[in-house]
Structure 1
């Protein structure tokens, strides 16, 4: 809920031309949750609404506590059918004018700022091609047309794979129903080729490329440099933001969180209190040369943990 405040504040500050709806989907307490997942702070709720967010409840019928990443799948059901949408994870910062992004909502896509997190190589696994092809075959999709033939065989980038930090399409009902159908089918009846693969927390990212491909989408539908570029950043965790993102992004974060009405609420959340307002983020940033970062994210994480700057 605190990340949602930062997202909404950055949207208002950096995209003044945006006149669409900002819908914040709120999961409701129920049998699939051990604890109440709703916004438990009246101050947070009020601030979000003052920033123009429409807080709309939805019921978890399939995922919930067992797989909270499924929220993004089930939440699509509350969006108005037939209207173009862009989904963003809350741990996203808007850094430029969103209306300048040249979306073609007829051709869905998602974030390509991704590493090869799934499937995992294993001594006894059938390989990337057999693993992915089994999923395309399961849903009657053409596997060969999904491949990037500029990449070598048995390299993960040859296969359609996205980060689910953002995705978009012309209709949330169509996209959401397909996403739910595929995710549940993979979870409940996986192909034999996936028997050695973990699906938690990867299930949404396994199903997402299949959904996009089935709806006529592709990896390069959106020109490079906009989302997860000059217009937005899926930073994921504040220590990673400070360690590796641009000066403009850090400046945007600290500017949009500076007003007293926002600061007063965000200081309730310890990672934001310490990283943003007590200056620990800038100290963490000083550990790294942003023009020569370690190639692997794990190396960045290890340095932050070793120096006492890791928070989540």
Structure 2
């Protein structure tokens, strides 16, 4: 196990859309909750080019100024492969612009840091990723192969051993039996190595006519189809981190602000409202409607009051419908 104080970098994606405000919020939460973090925080932004119909890069001067004040480094990268047709590919191509050989953690930008990252025992030789995941991919068809057949075809394609990745405690052909992650965070010892393999595997899955994948939807699931294969190929797995830290006490992948107020802990809401409060942050974030209305104007409290935190709904659609009925759904 690596020392708890091992230095590493963090990367999130920033674009000329809602991600720029989420990037500011991420940076503010990092500095608030993990003040002794010694690595670099990179906000990777795609350069304009033929794969974008408009300039996607960070351009808002106020956003750039506050990111600088929060000691974030802007990292432009080229979109050679994905771009506007598959923006989730940003997280793959951004890795190729990161410093080679320096351990990293990627976070989706819609994440809050809520605890001390230095207390997370990363072993950067063994990659891992978020296990806050549902069985979103694959979706076996009536006449096609089941989970086992689909995953076996992918492991075989890349010369990987399926058996060593399987969780035998799960029933045969149940989705949890197979290695599957949310790409909300992942980590490894070298972003270039990870990114190159991630790109190789994703392109092969997308472009090759693998028979077992007929009828499978890869948009938006391409990154999550490739990620477990990449992690397994580097010797990582589902046990790479102790439970309860990332996606727990140290980070929160909230996804949408109405959902944050509806179902996240009191501590997460306290962190959100604390880091938005300083004027230099607030004046930027109030240009984004969900943060302006829910946090700055305090309407998030109305969403909080709609839900019993000891008896929360099981399905996301229930949250959405209830919040929409009060006119407070926004994204």
Note whether the superposition's TM-score is higher than 0.5: yes
Three-state SS of the structure 2 residue aligned to 1:290 is: coil
**TM-score normalised by the chain length of structure 2:** 0.92
The match for 2:248 among 225, 229, 241 is 229
Aligned residues: 312
Distance (whole Å) between structure 2 residues aligned to residue 25 and residue 78 of structure 1: 8
Query: How big is each residue's C-alpha offset from its partner over 1:135-189, in whole Å with a ceiling of 9 and x where there is no partner?
Result: 1111111011111010101211111000001000011111110000000111111
- Equivalent residue number for residue 199 of structure 2: 180
Among 85, 91, 99, the alignment partner of 1:72 is 91
- Which residue among 122, 135, 142 is the counterpart of 1:116? 135
Q: Which runs of 4+ in 1 moved over 3 A?
A: none
Give the root-mean-square deviation of aligned CA atoms.
1.0
Match of residue 68, structure 2, among 49, 61, 75: 49
- With over 3 angstroms needed to count, the CA separation of the structure-2 counterparts of 1:292 and 1:28, relative to structure 1, is same
Is 1:127 aligned to 2:166, yes or no? no
Compare 293-302 and 264-273 and name the one that shifted more. 293-302
Shift of 1:277: 1.1
SS of the residue 1:54 aligns to = strand
Structure 2: distance between partners of 1:240 and 1:92: 13
Instruction: Give the structure 1 partner of residue 227 of structure 2.
Output: 208
Unaligned runs of 5+ in 1: none
TM-aligned CA deviation for residue 253 of structure 1: 0.3
Counterpart check, 1:97 vs 2:116: yes
Deviation for aligned residue 1:190: 4.1
Alpha-carbon shift at residue 295 of structure 1 (Å): 1.3
Q: Could you give the per-residue CA deviations for residues 261-288 of structure 1, whole angstroms, max 9, x where no partner exists? A: 1100101111111111122211111111
TM-score, structure 1 as length reference:
0.98
Range with greater deviation from structure 2 (117-126 or 200-209): 117-126
Deviation at 1:35, TM superposition (A): 1.4
1:85 is matched with which residue: 95, 104, 122?
104
1:1-312 alignment, distance < 5 Å: 1-312=20-331
Kindly state the Cα deviation for residue 234 of structure 1 after the two structures are TM-superposed.
Answer: 0.8
C-alpha distance in 1 between matches for 2:321 and 2:232 = 36
Change (3 A) 1:288 1:190: farther
State the distance in 1 between where 2:124 and 2:209 align: 30
Q: Please, which runs of 5 or more residues in structure 2 have no aligned partner?
A: 1-19
